[in-house]
Amino acid sequence: MSSILTGITTSGTPHLGNYVGAIKPSLGKIKESQKSFLFLADYHSLIKQQDPELTHKSSLEIASAWLACGLDPKKTFFYRQSRVPQIMELNWILSNTTSKGLLNRAHAYKAAQDLNAEKKIKDLDKGITAGLFNYPVLMAADILIFDADFIPVGSDQKQHIEMTRDIALRFNHIYGEIFTIPQAHISKSIPLLLGTDGRKMSKSYKNYIELFSDEKTLKKSINKIVTDSLLPGEPKETNNSILYSYFKAFASKDLLKEVEIMFSEGKGWGELKNELFILINTELESFRNKYFFYLENQKTVESILIDGEKQVLTIAEKKLVEIRKKIGIRSLDEK
């Protein structure tokens, strides 16, 4: 069957959005897939922030989160993007077949330009790095080097996977078939988990709920989820309710029906938040100690990653040799 691949940027503490959009669906799908590649997008993180200590700390946290949630390094290739230089080499090769116009349309780049426009800054590119502009190409390199075809992500990454497809098709058209065309896998029920303030939950905003905190902190974060001011006893709408969207992300179908009844019968927000806390805590409880174990045992995590990196380096190099041949870069005495 398929090859799964996904990455998480090492730009902060893993949160529930990363769990719902990437971690849970990837680990769920591994059993049915032929190969799986899960990695720390540490070079990607430079696009979002340039705090060396944060990058370092986040790398350990994200690796620990993957392992705590059940990633089995014997069955999955688990590695750091920065330890696979072939990805960077492919990034350059792909930059030369990718049109600038495609990258002009990338949401992340356009959002940065829009911010300048809002601030009435004349040069719309002010403060925008070449790294941000090139973001989709590096992401394409991550995926195409391993011929991955099944990419579990949140809906915020949909455009990037579409661009990867465009980039692959164009390369294949110019140089001949070499890349597998990947497909995004986005949850239908929760394409994007909202933050406590109703915007996308993100490491870049202060609106996220940490995936692993102690119970008290989890409870406190859930209590911060914004609701309207309806009182206990007053029926509540599930439509447009941030709280309900969390139930949708974590509850079984049957439980969700019960929750809908609680909403329509007017259960108080406080009680509903408590129900949500119990639900999320029950799911994460068994992983929590493992997470803190790995955080304390950096050497163990490091050696797991080094093992994974040894394996993927061979696969990446083999693919890159094929790619170099396609573009005419081979030994001079080779026909």
Stretch that binds ligand ADP, among 4-12, 27-35, 112-120, 311-319 (CB under 6 A): 4-12
112 binds ligand ADP (CB under 6 A): no
SS3 203: coil
Task: For residues 152 and 86, give the distance between their C-alpha atoms in angstroms, rounded to a whole number.
Answer: 23
For position 36 contacting ligand TRP by CB under 6 A, the verdict is no
Q: Are 273 and 225 in contact (CB under 8 A)?
A: yes
Answer yes or no whether residue 147 interacts with ligand TRP by CB under 6 A.
Answer: no
Q: Work out whether 157 is an interface residue with ligand TRP (CB under 6 A).
A: yes
x/- letters, 199..238, toward ligand ADP (CB under 6 A): -xxxxx----------------------------------
Of 263-282, binders to ligand ADP (CB under 6 A) are none
| Closest distance of CB 74 from ligand TRP, Å | 22
Restricting to residues 9-38, name those near ligand ADP by CB under 6 A. 9, 11, 17-18, 20-22
For ligand ADP, give the closer residue by CB, 23 or 323. Answer: 23
Is residue 165 at the binding interface for ligand TRP, with CB under 6 A as the rule? no
Could you give the maximum distance between any two Cα atoms of the chain, in Å? Answer: 82
For residues 135 to 154, the per-residue mask of contacts with ligand ADP, x marking binding by CB under 6 A and - elsewhere, is: ------------------xx
The angle subtended at Cα 130 by Cα 128 and Cα 133, nearest 5°, is 80
Q: Based on CB atoms, which residue is closest to ligand TRP, 203 or 236? A: 203
Among 33, 91, 157, 164, binds ligand ADP (CB under 6 A): 157
Which pair of tokens denotes residue 191? Answer: 């394409």
Which listed residue (46, 151, 222, 243) binds ligand TRP by CB under 6 A? 151
Tell me if 196 contacts ligand ADP by CB under 6 A: no
- By CB under 6 A, is residue 20 in contact with ligand TRP? no
Tell me whether residue 68 or residue 139 sits nearer to ligand TRP (CB atom). Answer: 139
Q: What residue 139 binds from ligand TRP, ligand ADP, none (CB within 5 to 8 A, per partner kind)?
A: ligand TRP
Instruction: Tell me if 136 contacts ligand TRP by CB under 6 A.
Output: no
Place of tokens 């032929």: 34
Helices assigned H by DSSP within 180-268: 215-223, 242-250, 253-264
Closest to ligand ADP by CB, 190 or 305: 190
Contact residues toward ligand TRP (CB under 6 A) are 5-7, 9, 41, 44, 139, 142-143, 151, 153, 157
Contact residues toward ligand ADP (CB under 6 A) are 6, 8-9, 11, 17-18, 20-22, 153-154, 156-157, 192-193, 200-204
